[in-house]
A and B are shown apart, each in its own frame.
Chain A
């Protein structure tokens, strides 16, 4: 067979080096080409990760046993010899950027699996990569010097599950730097600066978001992603499977971050009450995650009689005398419904009740009234600037609710009584262990109000300190002043203040998942037979058809009734058949048909997972369901 010249550019020789020319025959296999090439470069190194990339055809020549003829390569082919694993800048859900080696030659699905293995995220099938938002605005200096966490030194391992040291993958235990990276991955970030939220929200990624997903069945190179480019890693399929806080530190914290941003940016709609609760949870989570995790002494280890006795004694004490002694000496002026003005009484807290007396001297006798707080509503009415510290109590009785106001003299007193009332409303006495922390958090919310109202105005708000505005979406920045917002968040906070870090994160995720629009990705489509564009929403368990004008859901189809679906790649149309002879067909207006197809197939794949097989991923099935004609 005749020999001819094949020129190959070797990346390792530098960008300016001329291509290496080899004399080859058409029956030479790819492996032989590589061998010749390596010999010719005379460089001693490990070439095992290298492979040939065919530029015109945009494909890797990974089958080394195939001949050039079989690949259809002729003398005009421009080949590139380079490593399959290259560094990539990976934007995480928490806004941080990692630099790590990823595979450029396998389908993105596998690339993501590799990334997740490095980061210790289970269930990589739920995540994928997407192109970052075009950052049209020139970023400020601060942003360009953004910190990049480097993971490129991590050796590529093929083990499916890395071994763990101290609860983290071995490669993170190597050095303090690596440990710091792991911490960044697994610990939730403090609330973002207000300005940053505004900045990101202007990018308006809601509409374009689903359009930017990379194709899972093709490799990065094929999708124009180059060495050191930036891509985002995000959760894509919201059928979150088998969450186990014990093993899912990174997964949970990244999921939380993604959820938090979805809410702050209003990618998902929620009501004002829900927003306040999300705000309260964020505050709580950031507070708890920043303080050192304190191990609560397990109460199970009460075998020791001494300790058992002690705790009982404490409890009895708390329930009877000493608790009431703790706070008695404060004067309050309750306002009874119709009485105008406040009258001063001597108040005492006992168990879950408030008693009041004419004066301190009489506090030994019968109280004027005793109010049991259990089940009551406690609301703050506070204005730090005006030194107004009111506690509003709505106390249930068989005839209805009685309204009582307590006025406190100062912050300190307010925090104590507020905490006591809150515990009381939940049926807990002051002896409860959460009393002190409740006081503290009320105190810190008051402090927040102080600083935020102080810096309100034109001064650039967000310093490093937490600002209530950074806990809610920009809509509420416009709607409320900080001093209005703080009490509302505080109000919601009382219901979550007792949660542990993990529980709080889980609660956040649960509320997020319970939102009606959770997990929906939207695409503009044109249904067959319809003359106008409509929106197709793809959820973990169903498709919905939404009227673009009104925003109403017109129709819902559930996957479990789906019999089959087809894609006509020529006219870019998807046709789906459901049980009961229901057929729908639509073409995609904004997105590539493949993205929609992959979403639906992906969700069907997710529903096939089962606990027994959860360790191994059926990649073949995934590609079969999502790949379309290219998968073959």
Chain B
């Protein structure tokens, strides 16, 4: 126990150092319980990952036996910050199973170069190498520490919300993918993230390639702005109905009757050439600018280089045009309800402003159109001019994701149902229920790039718990529909479904982290104490020591950051559980897992970020306890979070 506590304290301190959490929109107090759970899970996962990585790294060097591992340390960034809404009772979707979002691929890419590989290296050989690696690792950690993460509450159309942690390197596409997993929506290309500006009554669709964190950082501290997750047909309308934008002068009837072949040609012509062609819009719009109250009419033209207007008494010749705005540092927003708010001639308004500006200012340009059609024409035209080819790339990527999601969803029911009922043995009873969900592998995006087929070894070292936790949880390999792949694992599988799979699963999943060994483990873990009792106060951290000791037996765990090694899905766990001691990191599992590993990859087909089932209950408790005990090294955020947790628990 003490050990655990100590470790935890240490971790908290670490985390404080390493990660900077920003809590923007809503303060912690407003968070729902389940949000807290999810967040906590994320945090812990994060910490675990880091620690894990470190230990693994060190161990690697020492451990001679598990030669086959070329598992690089998982960059901690990798760890899934899943904001799981799993527990959230509110969201209907969540009931299905765990929604764990994995920034997987996304976060992986930006990561530092994959950690060195330890290929059957003999100890002696690489003294220097080890040292170098350590330095490298340290540097990486430093870098990693600068990564900003934001806890974002996303409103769904049904009024509920999901809370997730977003890494500053993630773009909107990746966040959407996470949300797809959490909400089990149909994943069509129209799903969008939108931001609303409460103060100004604005709304805008984030483009899929944009980073999410950056625009959110511009929000003021007390903002009532929201992030929405919605289907917006206008997002990709220029690809579905290019004629509306490129042939806008034709009468509407003709536009409706246009043939598909001609639409395709228009897309081809305007988006696939050497240069993206911007619709040549021209219209008289009402303008309100410079902080004035009045709206005046002007003849505007849209060009690739900006919006221009025709000055009074001049011709429309290009050279006489006056530049109204260019698009660097300018975003376009839909204005809502401007008729009453700003006495606009109509309610079809859009706004151009620097993303940083959040309040009414003379630097904001308000434009008003005669009708909704014109407004859409302009907003979309401006987006094409501003973002160019990126829009089309986004659309293509979204289409792909939509297609593969069909698969995923199909598989969902089966996998979730089978695995669902796994009561956890360990820790807090209270959470059991949630936890179950957590473990349940989310509808495994069946195929994931992430599952790197090529490196089976990756999972070989069965998971040092942390690993397992994160990764494993994730992409439960598609089970049902790819029977073929399964051959090896079947046995394990069989057991799984019906009987609550070996409890270890959960624990293995979450607890694994070095600190939280699965409950049952026995002797093997002498050093690894059971789940930290909630109420512990953390004694001094002896962690290093414990790690070290563990290290001996541990195979190098760290998965490769580049690709999340396919989380040893259930099979793995099972395997792990089955063998006598399901020690977190013990080698035995390795053996069991090993055979399977290869299989899985084959199963994986496409890329879809694996879902991470996560639910780190154990850690949560630990966290809670820490808080209660007066909180060790945790920062403001941590302690706040813990307090909240405690409160929740007590109620």
- Taking beta carbons and an 8 Å cutoff, which residues of A are in contact with B? 240, 243, 266, 269-274, 277, 302, 305, 308-309, 312, 316, 375, 377, 396-401, 475, 495, 506, 509-511, 513-517, 541, 551-552, 556, 558, 560-561
Contacts and interface: CB of A to CB of B under 8 A. Distances in A.
B304 A269 contact: no
A396 B262 contact: no
B433 interface: no
Interface string B604-627: 000000000000000000000000
A271 B303 contact: yes
A243 B361 CA distance: 45
Contacts of A398: 218, 220, 356-359
B354 A270 contact: no
Contacts of B363: 400-401
Contacts of B356: 375, 396-398
Contacts, number: 112
A240 B273 CA distance: 8
Interface stretch (B77-85, B132-140, B228-236, B451-459): B132-140
Contact of A541 (B113, B269, B326, B355): B269
A495 B358 CA distance: 26
Nearest to B220: A398
8 contacts: A401-B354, A401-B363, A475-B319, A513-B275, A514-B303, A515-B304, A516-B318, A556-B247
A513 B273 contact: yes
Interface SS, B side: loop
Interface in B468-493: none
A541 to B, nearest CB: 6
B125 interface: no
A152 B286 CA distance: 64
A309 B354 contact: no
Interface in B288-333: 303-306, 308, 315-319, 321, 323, 326, 328-329
Nearest to A559: B265
Given A270-B319, A273-B306, A398-B220, A561 B135 contact: no
Nearest to B329: A375
A277 B135 CA distance: 46
Contacts of B275: 509-511, 513-514
B305 A400 contact: no
B265 A560 contact: yes
Contact of B142 (A305, A316, A511): A316
B293 to A, nearest CB: 17
Contact of B319 (A269, A277, A506, A561): A269
B315 A551 contact: yes
Contacts of A514: 275-278, 303-305
Nearest 4 pairs of A and B residues by beta carbon: A400-B361, A396-B356, A510-B275, A269-B318
Of the candidates A305, A398, A399, the one having the most CB atoms from chain B within 10 angstroms of its own CB is A398
Contacts of B249: 556
Interface string B493-527: 00000000000000000000000000000000000
A506 B275 CA distance: 9
Nearest to A510: B275
A588 B358 CA distance: 58
A509 B274 CA distance: 8
Report the interface size class on chain B. Answer: 35 or more
A41 to B, nearest CB: 54
Contacts of A401: 354, 357, 361, 363
Contact of B359 (A240, A274, A399, A509): A399
Given A273-B326, A396-B356, A400-B361, A516 B113 contact: no
B362 interface: yes
A560 B276 CA distance: 19
Given A274-B303, A495-B328, A515-B304, 14 more contacts: A270-B319, A271-B305, A272-B323, A302-B113, A312-B143, A375-B355, A396-B355, A400-B362, A400-B363, A401-B361, A509-B274, A511-B275, A515-B318, A551-B317
Contacts of A400: 357, 359, 361-364
B139 A399 contact: no
A302 B116 CA distance: 13
Interface of B: 113, 132, 135-136, 139, 142-143, 218, 220, 247, 249, 261-262, 265, 269, 273-278, 280, 303-306, 308, 315-319, 321, 323, 326, 328-329, 354-359, 361-364
A506 B274 contact: yes
A475 B359 CA distance: 41
Contacts of A274: 303, 305, 318
A396 B329 contact: yes
Given A398-B358, A401-B354, A511-B304, A271 B274 contact: no
A506 B280 CA distance: 22
Contacts of A510: 274-275
A488 to B, nearest CB: 11
A506 B273 CA distance: 12
A560 B354 CA distance: 41
A84 to B, nearest CB: 37
Contacts of A475: 319
A271 B316 contact: no
Contacts of B306: 273
B386 to A, nearest CB: 13
B215 to A, nearest CB: 11
B308 A271 contact: yes
A272 B323 CA distance: 8
A274 B303 CA distance: 10
A273 B307 CA distance: 11
Most buried by A among B262, B277, B329, B354: B354
Contacts of B132: 305, 309
A561 B319 CA distance: 32
A182 to B, nearest CB: 24
A363 B361 CA distance: 33
Contact of B305 (A375, A511, A558, A561): A511
Contacts of A511: 275, 304-305
Contact of A240 (B274, B304, B357): B274
Contacts of B359: 398-400
Contacts of A506: 274
Given A273-B305, A560-B262, A397 B319 contact: no
A89 to B, nearest CB: 31
A477 to B, nearest CB: 14
A399 B113 CA distance: 41
Contacts of A396: 329, 354-357
Given A316-B142, A516-B318, A397 B357 contact: yes
A587 B226 CA distance: 61
Nearest to A240: B274
Nearest to B359: A399
A269 B317 contact: yes
Contacts of B278: 514
B136 A308 contact: yes
Contacts of A375: 329, 354-356
A206 to B, nearest CB: 14
A558 B270 CA distance: 14
Contacts of A269: 317-319
Contacts of A541: 269
A269 B320 CA distance: 10
Contact of A399 (B274, B305, B355, B361): B361
Contacts of B218: 398
B15 to A, nearest CB: 21
A513 B359 CA distance: 38
Contacts of B142: 316
A266 B317 CA distance: 12
